[in-house]
Amino acid sequence: MAKILEAENVTKQFGGLTAVNDVSLYIDEGEIFGLIGPNGAGKTTFFNAITGLYPPTRGAIKLLGQSMVGRKPHDITAAGVCRTFQQIRLFPNMSVFENVMIGADARGKSGLLASVFKTPSNRKEQEATEKKSLELLNFCGIERFGNELARNLSYGDQRRLEIARALGTGPKLLLLDEPAAGMNPVEKNGLRELVRKIRDQGVTILLIEHDMKVVMGLSDRVAVLDHGEKIAEGKPEAVQKDPKVVEAYLGSGAGGAAATSTDGKTAPSGTMDRT
């Protein structure tokens, strides 16, 4: 199985602060890979390094064997990496359909003149973008809101819209930063189904999530960061029982305490509200 992402000894420093320290991991094509850790663990900083927002201070990041270090965020998107954000970033005064169009248009090849003069190739491309956007709205279960302003959607549906827009870029690797944040239990169940559908369409997923039930129920493998360092990696069942993981969430006085989620798996009972 091919490795879609390889991170080798990735370190990110901000002045005297080391937010991510010597982190190495890989993700196979077709995986759902969970990245978890307590508050301030460096998870979102690691995401930002992968997507070019914060180039790593040192280390290597490869997509399908090609280095991503030093590339601009839009070039990394064009290479097949796209993400959602912990804080939803939509265009609130644009329609749901227009928001998805922006993502799908990222794959467009028409130049400025072709767009201005509406050349046949530009019109054909525009029609394809509109068709793709409608398909993504339907795929993500928000097609009935196509003409609504994005700001009028519920929080859970705004999350779905952000995912639809990201899918419009045609990613090989989709990074989801706390997609279940703010969702109620019904919305979280729907999110799990959507994430599995996305994977079944051939998109590999790297997931940050503070909800243990969500991330452990979805992930094929999980890595745990604490104070910017990787302290564990493996199958969810093994990671949940790792003493270093339990201590990272609950502190050394926890005595190995853990909570059992409703799906019968044992999970640390600490929360992961921030990265």
Q: Give me Rg for the CA atoms of the chain.
A: 19
25-69, pLDDT tens digit by residue?
Answer: 999 999 999 999 988 899 999 999 999 999 999 999 999 999 999
CA distance 10 to 115: 41
Give the Cα separation of 226 and 244 in Å (integer).
10
The model's pTM: 0.84
Domain ranges within the chain, ordered by starting residue? 1-80+171-275, 94-170
CATH level 2 (architecture), domain 1-80+171-275 = 3-Layer(aba) Sandwich (3.40)
CA 68 to chain centre: 17
- Asked if 193 and 218 touch (Cβ cutoff 8 Å), the reply is no
pLDDT tens digits for range 105-137: 765 555 544 555 466 776 777 788 899 999 999
Which range of 9-13, 243-247, 250-254, 258-262 scores highest in mean pLDDT? It is 9-13
Buried b (16+ CB within 10 A) or exposed e, 238-247: ebbbbeebbb
Lowest mean pLDDT among 15-19, 46-50, 135-139, 270-274: 270-274
Which among 218, 189, 187, 224 is positioned nearest to 205, based on CA atoms? 218
User: For the segment 128-162, what is each residue's pLDDT rounded down to a tens digit?
Assistant: 889 999 999 999 999 999 999 999 999 999 999 99
Q: Give burial (CB, 10 Å; 0-12/13-18/19+) of 120.
A: exposed
Structure confidence by residue, pLDDT tens digits, 209-229: 989 899 999 999 999 999 999
Average pLDDT, the chain: 86
CA dist., res. 265 & res. 69, Å (int): 38
